[in-house]
Structure formats: structure tokens, C-alpha cells
Amino acid sequence: MRRLAVAITGLELPAVEKISESRAEDPFQVTIATLLSARTQDATTFAASERLFGKAATPETMATLTVKQIEKLIYPVSFYRYKARYIKATCAKLIKDFGGRTPATMDELLTLPGVGRKTANLVLILAYQSRTNICVDTHVHRIANRLGWIRTKTPEETEQALYRATEARWWPYINLYLVTWGQNVCRPVYPRCPACAIQDLCPRIGVTVVSKTPPPPITLEEV
């Protein structure tokens, strides 16, 4: 993890991290951006979030938009029709049950339409500075298994296994480090193992073909 902390310097941050930074870690906007990010490219998530928050940045204002308007604003994120309905329903629930505030507990977050453990964990880490949660997405699941930290079949299993396999001081950073690494180096197919900062520590479990193309160089200024 220490090596990854250095190695990700200068690489593009995941979209939800960027949105969280630029929007003062607003819990509502982090929740909506994470919903939008599911199975969607980062650039698309970022642009759709900016369009949506440009029109409506709170549950109260977003609730006044129709599902059709939300669809238009978030297109072309994947499953934009479902996501627009979830967003509308989440705004209504936040207003009705939480006085317009985004809750700060896992149990309460999971009552919001479309919010699963991945979204809830990321909201708790980014917006509420939790140090006791790990957010597992497809990158974290894949890389933790390639590294041999755990042996699991689903992201849900991975989250629980990582609580047992890793030191608690790293929990809030696992998502940031492994998602950034997964998007730039340890990609789903053709991972860039020859250029990987932790290749000597990695048994590459399940990796059959690697890329010989090095990642773009990081300049000294960026480091």
C-alpha cells in the first residue's frame, strides 16, 4: 500500500474522488455521483454529474426535476433510465425520512433506492471521513485477488475478507489506491505487469496475458 501511494501520484483520480474533492465532500452529491458511476466510464460519470449538479445540487431541488429531465441530464451513463428513477426516489426518501440530510450510517444509507454497500461505503469514507469502512468495486475485487490478499468470488465476499486480511489503517485508502491502479496499470485485461510498481510482490493469480505497453510516463513535476 505504501508503494501504491507513491505510484498513483500523478495518475488520474477516479471520477467520484474528483467530484467529492470539487464539491466539498457533499454527502448528497457523493451519493448521486456514486450511483451514476456504476458500470460507467469515469469521464462520462464526471460530465453527467456536473450537468446534473449544475441544474440541481440538493435533494430538494433535484426532487423538482422529472424523471425525464434527469434522464436527459445524465445520458449517456449506463442504465440511465433506471438510475434516473433511483435518483428521483432517493431524493423523495431523503426529504421524507431524513429531513433532506444524507444519513451517515450504513443501515440508513442502505434504505435509499439504488444504494448498495459499495455506494454506502464510499459515501461514509469520502463524505463522512469514516476510517472503518472498505469500499469494494470491481477493481478492488479483481486486484485484491490477483495479489493473493484474499480468495473470493464476489465483491461482497471481498469486502468482508479484506477487513480480516488488511490492517485497519489502510481501509479508507484501499478503494482509492486499487481503483486508480486498476484503471491505469492493473487493468481487467492485459494488465501492465512489467511496468507495475508492486510486481515483485504480486503472484499475479489468475493473470494469463499481460501487456507489454508501458503506461504513460509520469513527469517529475507531477511527482
Which positions touch ligand SF4 (CB under 6 A)?
143, 146-147, 185-186, 191-193, 196, 198-199, 202, 204, 207
> By C-beta, is 85 or 204 nearer to ligand SF4?
204
The full DSSP string for 71-136 is HHHHTTSTTHHHHHHHHHHHHHHHHHHHTTPPP-SHHHHTTSTT--HHHHHHHHHHTT--SS----
Q: How far is the CB of 109 from ligand SF4 (least distance, A)?
A: 30
Residue 42 annotated to the active site? no
> By C-beta, is 91 or 186 nearer to ligand SF4?
186
212 membership: H or E segment, kind and range:
none
Q: How far is the CB of 195 from ligand SF4 (least distance, A)?
A: 8
Q: Which of 137, 153, 200, 212 is the catalytic position?
A: 137
> By C-beta, is 18 or 204 nearer to ligand SF4?
204
204 membership: H or E segment, kind and range:
none
Helix, strand, or coil (residue 153): coil
Residue 83 annotated to the active site? no
Q: How far is the CB of 87 from ligand SF4 (least distance, A)?
A: 34
- Cβ–Cβ < 8 Å for 49, 32: yes
